[in-house]
Structure formats: structure tokens, C-alpha cells
Amino acid sequence: MAALKLFSLRNALRFTVAPQSHPLIRMNLLRRLSTESEMAQDASDDPFLKPPEKGLVYAKLTGIGWNTLKTDIINLLEGCNLSTDDIKVEYTKGYSPAGMLLQFPSKSAFDMALTQNSKKGRLFRIDEVDRSYWDLTMSYDGKAVMLEGLPLKANMEDAERFLSGCNFDPSRFQFSIRPGFPDPVRIAIVHFMSRIDATNAFCWKNRTFCLNNPVTVRVLQ
């Protein structure tokens, strides 16, 4: 009789300590865990339950002109943590400024830019864009100038003579012609060793003459 009681006590302890070892209980436990996993996965797919994304946000600002500087935009969007390295000027094929690409450190900084622009009279249009716009836009960074109005018959030697005394890179001249009235306009993009060199070229050469043609010099940002 005592041995029978001891055997019953051992069985009771075995099911009390490890109930999940029973086949039916283990099956129910696996089903519950599977259901909870599916619910967690469904919740992660819900955009309303996702945490806000962190990281860089890109935007395009339009409505600028030749006189709009990067520092003007930084001052306009005060509090958005922008620097000149976070701004690229986008030019058309004829090298007229089409807009600026902005790189914000966060979504909250981008939202702040929209608020600041609205408060200051919506001077510009700001639209969020994909990062590819930023990657594909070349930054001249103030180290290049555009010579506008070169004579159509001017050659490389004429352009170099025009820039005499400037510290430019002769291997990176880019000539092109854009439509104009009454005649097409010849332009050249010239790269310099530094921003100071490009600025000096603007100060010394703007509105001076190349083969009797007045040439406008513009710094590309």
C-alpha cells in the first residue's frame, strides 16, 4: 500500500513540474506561440504602429535666382540644422539655377523647414524627394565659374588669355552653346583650385572683354 502511494506521488510531481512534456499540452503551447508570432508580425506591418523612421530626409527647393545664396536658405530655415554642405544647387542644361537640393538630418528638421517657409511667406516651394536626386546632382561648391557671352569664334587660347592671372584648372574647360536672341550664346564652365580663386576670378574678370565681347562671370555654388 505504501509503495502504491509513493508511485502516485511521483506521477503527480512529474506532471506538476513539467506539464509541457505532455503531448496534448505541448501541442496547445506550440499553437499559442505560433498565433502570438503571427499577431506580432501583423502588428509590425501596420504603418500606424511602426516607430517614426530616423535618418536623412531630402527635399527640393524651387523659386531661386542667380542671387540666391546657400546662406540665404540656411538663414531662412533657421533651426533646421543645415550647413552649406547640406545644400546643392541644381542647374539646367544651360546652367541657369533651377533649384536647390537640401539634405536634412531628420524628418523633424524637414517638418521644421516647411513651418519656417510658411511663416516667412512661402518664399520658396519645398518638396520631399528621393535620395537619388541628391546623388545625381553635381556640387560645384563655389569652385567653378560660368563665362557667359564668349565670342562664338573664341578658342581655348582666347579663353585662357581672358582668365590671365587667375588660378584655374586648364584641363577642365567645358564649352557649350545655348539658344539666345538674336544670336546663340557661348558659355564655358571653368574649375578653380579653391573657392577663393573662383571668387577672385569673378571680382577681377566680370564684365571685362574677350575679343571685344563683354563676358559675364557667375560663380557656381
Q: What is the DSSP string of 147-199?
A: EEEE-TT--HHHHHHHTTT--B-GGG-EEEEE--SSS-EEEEEEEBSSHHHHH
Which of 60, 69, 59, 70 shows the shortest CA–CA distance to 106? Answer: 59
For 144, list phi and psi in degrees, rounded to 5: -140, 155
How confident is residue 183, by pLDDT bands cut at 50, 70 and 90? confident
Overall average pLDDT of the 95-122 stretch: 96
Cβ–Cβ < 8 Å for 196, 205? no
Strand runs (DSSP E) across 27-139, as ranges? 57-62, 87-91, 97-104, 125-129
Query: Within 13 Å of residue 51, how many CA atoms lie on the same side as its CB?
Result: 2
What mean pLDDT, rounded, does the chain reach?
84
- Cis check for the bond before 105: say yes or no (omega within 30 of 0): no
Given the C-alpha cell 541657369, which residue does it identify?
96
Cβ–Cβ < 8 Å for 100, 89? yes
Overall average pLDDT of the 12-19 stretch: 46
Overall average pLDDT of the 94-123 stretch: 96
Q: What confidence tens digit (pLDDT) does each residue in 154-182 have?
A: 999 999 999 999 999 999 999 999 888 88
Overall average pLDDT of the 126-145 stretch: 97
Strand runs (DSSP E) across the chain, as ranges? 57-62, 87-91, 97-104, 125-129, 144-150, 174-178, 185-191, 208-210, 213-220
Whether 3 has a pLDDT exceeding 60, the answer reads no
Whether 196 has a pLDDT exceeding 60, the answer reads yes
Whether 6 has a pLDDT exceeding 50, the answer reads no
Going from the N-terminus, what domains does the chain have, and what CATH number goes with each? 57-136 (3.30.70.330), 144-220 (3.30.70.330)
Q: What confidence tens digit (pLDDT) does each residue in 205-214 have?
A: 999 999 999 9
Q: How far apart are the first and last CA of the chain?
A: 99
Percentage of the chain exceeding pLDDT 70: 76
